[in-house]
Structure 1
Amino acid sequence: MSVKGSCHCGAIQFEVETGPTELTDCNCSFCAKRGNLVAYYQPSSFKLLTARDRVSTYQWGAYMGSHHHCSICGCGTHGEFPDFSSGEADYDHPRISINVRLLENFDLSPLPVVYLNGRDDW
């Protein structure tokens, strides 16, 4: 069953095919300051329901990933990154990270949280 999410003002809306089964809490400088709690999806499982030109993007460092957010209310909505599950950047298998705090009518409390040490590992 699909799950929808949106930024605070509703200008950016998205949908994922299924609810997350695991959450990731990263302590890298960006995620820590943003308060991120994310779930990862294949690009085919993510659908942006808003026109792409309404989405603002932030990139930094080596420009490996794109952090997307609403230019109106400022909420970070999703990101696009290579798959790092092997320890190396796999650009052939990108992943979408969504801010699970923006999901509508979805209880996150029973889901396991993986803590990622992005501060020291990157």
Structure 2
Amino acid sequence: MTIISGSCHCGATKFEVLEEITGVTACTCSTCSKRGALWSYHSPDKFRLLTPREDLATYRWQSRTVAFHFCATCGCSTFGETPDWSTGEADFDNPRIAVNARVLDDFDLAAMPVTVIDGKNLW
């Protein structure tokens, strides 16, 4: 099984992705672009949070359907919880974990294809 570790800058927030990552997404919405995040999306069973949830900080923007989690100590954006948006509508029956690939450890982000989503005009 593939296990990719991730953590914030100070190491207080740690997690694992339990599958290979084959590409990332750059969303142009104001939240994602200001965070500078590149997201990989996973089903909840392919994500393992190693940090107690109470140690995370969470931000919900606009429709409040997406929870952006970040380290409460150093502020690094780490992952989010979202419905699947692949059809253009929120599919709450298919939750996804969005992992900020910029905080993955020992991961070659430069080798990943990047798909741009026009979140600035979609949401």
Match of 1:103 in 2: 104
**1:52 has 2:53 as partner:** yes
1:19 shift after superposition: 3.2
The aligned amino acid for 2:51 is T
Render the CA deviation track for 1:20-56: whole Å, top value 9, x for unaligned.
Answer: 1011011100011111111000000000001111011
Aligned residues: 122
1:15 shift after superposition: 0.1
**1:11 has 2:7 as partner:** no
Inter-partner Cα distance in structure 1 for 2:44 and 2:89? 19
TM-score, normalised with respect to structure 1: 0.97
Structure 1: give runs of 5+ residues left out of the alignment.
Answer: none
Percent of counterpart pairs with the same letter?
Answer: 48
Inter-partner Cα distance in structure 2 for 1:107 and 1:60? 30
Inter-partner Cα distance in structure 2 for 1:63 and 1:110? 32
1:64-75 mapped onto 2 (5 Å cutoff): 64-75=65-76
Match of 1:43 in 2: 44
Render the CA deviation track for 1:46-70: whole Å, top value 9, x for unaligned.
Answer: 0000111101111121111100001
Render the CA deviation track for 1:69-112: whole Å, top value 9, x for unaligned.
Answer: 01110000000000010111000001000010111111112211
SS of the residue corresponding to residue 34 of structure 2 reads helix
The aligned amino acid for 1:114 is T
Runs of 4+ in 1 over 6 A off after TM superposition: none
**1:32 has 2:33 as partner:** yes
SS of the residue corresponding to residue 107 of structure 2 reads coil
TM-score, normalised with respect to structure 2: 0.96
Inter-partner Cα distance in structure 2 for 1:108 and 1:32? 17
